[in-house]
Structure 1
């Protein structure tokens, strides 16, 4: 495995770069500095909101390419590289269904902020983990003054056994992604991390052969095929392990940063 050609590193965040306590390794920022000194670009690819990611990486915010909302919104140094919003009518239709699912709480993810209707404490604690800017509104169906990038459903029953069943027959026309044990994401058919990565590669003139990606869950599947150096962390979903060419240690064993350290210390 010759890592000397890598020019772009793209990593999922939760379950991949962050440990199970949602913490960054102490070694991350020194390793990032080495990446930067070698001219290697870094991208954070996540289902998280842009504002949340920008706060998480605040010390290096000007040097990170943000692939947010599972590939619906890509921003670098305040330049929008991709906005893949959903049609308003489709958004309202999906919301109406989501609002009727027992144990599931939808989040309407706009460019300006996220919107929620419920105030269940467990739900709100999950909202605040991934969304820096959000507003509680009386009726999600009445929110119109924004571009809608995604509907995230926080399913406290379990996304695969509960809410997914309401939308799985829409997979031909939408992105329907189980992105975590309690998360289901609905977005535009063209919105995924793989397509977002292609946009980044085209913008910076970087090939798949010179790209390294890391992921752990099903919303990372498309970007596995867009990089020669595709890594599944040891704690990844079996389908991600099958799609990736290589394996890294688990998120709790600092797998991503350890692999990056190997690459930057090749000399």
Structure 2
């Protein structure tokens, strides 16, 4: 029996216009009746996830910033930060790249130094709490993630990833989308965050279901027994997943969950 369902957001739970499935609240009510936990797992900022799903804040586990921050309600369950001795050089490397823009993330919020409006507009999709500062050296809290945005070309693999992957011996450099590259601590990702919570809550991998579409979802799908790649997922994710779900524009997450509930609780009104 499934006890925990985890879903990526963009390209997975949300359609290409950023909308939730029309039957989402109905499905969540059914999961709650069955005591099945639901979690969004995203590269998005924690505050952005909680803001979007404020009515579920006290019920859900939120896996934010690609696993570097996990919370339930107002309680922080786990967080991971980049090595303090590397942050200056990593920020310097990110900000030196031409034509891209940098967000530095902490558990308390996120920081930017650029006022470029297309960047601000792109960032607003994922970061509801951010602060414009003069210099990233003003940040005093531990840094959990550095994100680099190519809002003009949508080719971050060429403008940022290829230049930053030389740091992979010390940190993770991950393509979060065609627009975003994330720099995160070693040994943390959505999958490791899920494994930590599985241990904390005594939930077995085979009691978990997860949905994803992009490279930063691979470890998450490996951490669960019932793994679904969206039909629109990249090939690497499809090769890892146990099943293929309908695309995000066909609301494949809720369709799959509804089918599971119908098959598992037949005749149970």
TM-score (norm 1): 0.96
Runs of 5+ consecutive residues of structure 2 not aligned to the other structure = none
Contact 1:66 1:76 in 2 (8 A): yes
| Deviations 1:174-228 (CA, angstroms, capped at 9, x unpaired) | 1110010010000100220010000111121111111100000011111111111
Could you tell me which of 50, 57, 63 is aligned with 1:67?
Answer: 63
2:236 equivalent in structure 1: 239
The aligned runs of 1:157-196 (5 Å cut-off) are: 157=153, 158-196=155-193
1:246: how far off? 0.3
Q: Distance in 1 between matches of 2:114 and 2:71?
A: 29
1:149 equivalent in structure 2: 144
2:43 equivalent in structure 1: 47
1:11 equivalent in structure 2: 7
1:144: how far off? 2.8
1:218 equivalent in structure 2: 215
1:77: how far off? 2.1
Contact 1:12 1:220 in 2 (8 A): yes
2:201 equivalent in structure 1: 204
Q: Distance in 1 between matches of 2:193 and 2:36?
A: 18
| Deviations 1:112-158 (CA, angstroms, capped at 9, x unpaired) | 11000111111000111100100111112x12321211001012331
How many residue pairs match? The answer is: 262
1:88: how far off? 2.4
Q: Distance in 2 between matches of 1:89 and 1:124?
A: 29
Q: Distance in 1 between matches of 2:6 and 2:220?
A: 9
TM-score (norm 2): 0.95
Q: Distance in 1 between matches of 2:169 and 2:236?
A: 20
RMSD: 1.0
1:31 equivalent in structure 2: 27
Runs of 4+ more than 6 Å apart: none
Contact 1:84 1:190 in 2 (8 A): no
Contact 1:65 1:74 in 2 (8 A): yes
1:34: how far off? 0.2
